[in-house]
Amino acid sequence: MEKALQTKKASLQSKLSLKSSQKTLKERIALALLYVILGVVAVAQVLPLIWLFLFSLKDNQEVFNLAPFALPSQPRWENYAKVWTEGNISLYFFNSVWITAAAVILTVLLASFVTFAITRMNWKWKKPVLGLFMVGLMIPVHSTLIPLFSFFTNINLMDHPLAIILTYTAFNLPITMMILLGFYYTLPREVEEAAIMDGCSVHRMFFQIILPMTSPVLATTAIINMIYNWNEFIFVNTFISSDKYKTLTVGIQNFIGQYATDWGAIGATLMISIIPILLAFFVLSNRIVEGITSGSVKG
């Protein structure tokens, strides 16, 4: 009997070890396929950046005669110096930075105010107010060009950066609030109750307790707003006519002429415009993922 039991036990163990080894092999194959797919996606994402970098180091003749990914015969780093000095890109770059920063700060702060009032306070009109903001998601942005043009003309804000900042803020408020709402609903009310018991005012509680607690999702909304504001073209091209207020997206037109276009300079300008977005994403990438995932689970 004992020998029979030992034989059965040994056979069961061998079967279990065989199944586990097969399962491990399948998992390894699946993981390898996943890495291959992710590698292909990563290459597809990086190739345009490599192409643009090589494009920015060529002259017009090389742009049209060489293969897209061919190395330039002589890298023309002077394209970058040319656009920074002669092309006035330094001014456009500075305008893009401060206009984008002002619009992002104003949007995130106002959205935080409204979201805090809607999710943490009890008042009569909070649901209609939330619905009014969410209606903004359904309005096509560029359908408002003519009304906004007329409005800014009447209040003497045409060719003024404030027109751009207000426009960016208004159109980014709904999506920013929608991201913040999911996070605010997960915040424990016990923290606010303890702060009130200690005599903390509403304003102090918001700035010293709520805002620090929501820093991950604020980073997410900030980078989303930054990408939109930095790359926006139509509003700047419509509302701004003076060179002193133009941004990078509009300044690229300086290198497009009626009879000749400096393609290398355009490539250098595009590379300069991409670098801040890449740096911001690399610096805030962990916060972005944290902000997206933290609001997905309640409790």
Q: What is the pLDDT of residues 75-93, one digit of tens each?
A: 888 888 888 887 778 889 9
Give the type of residue at 124: K
Give the confidence band of 101 by pLDDT, cuts at 50, 70, 90.
Answer: very high
Q: Residue 15's pLDDT is what?
A: 56
The verdict on 41 and 157 lying in the same domain is: no
* CA 248/CA 270 separation, integer angstroms: 8
Inside any domain, residue 73: no
Give the global pTM: 0.79
The verdict on 29 and 98 lying in the same domain is: no
The verdict on 8 and 110 lying in the same domain is: no
Q: How many domains does the chain have?
A: 2
* CA 294/CA 21 separation, integer angstroms: 36
Inside any domain, residue 75: no
Inside any domain, residue 71: no
Q: Which domain holds residue 250?
A: 80-294
Rounded average pLDDT over 125-144? 86
Inside any domain, residue 62: no
Phi-psi region of 58 (alpha: psi -120 to 50; beta: other; left: phi over 0): beta
| CATH (domain of 155) | 1.10.3720.10
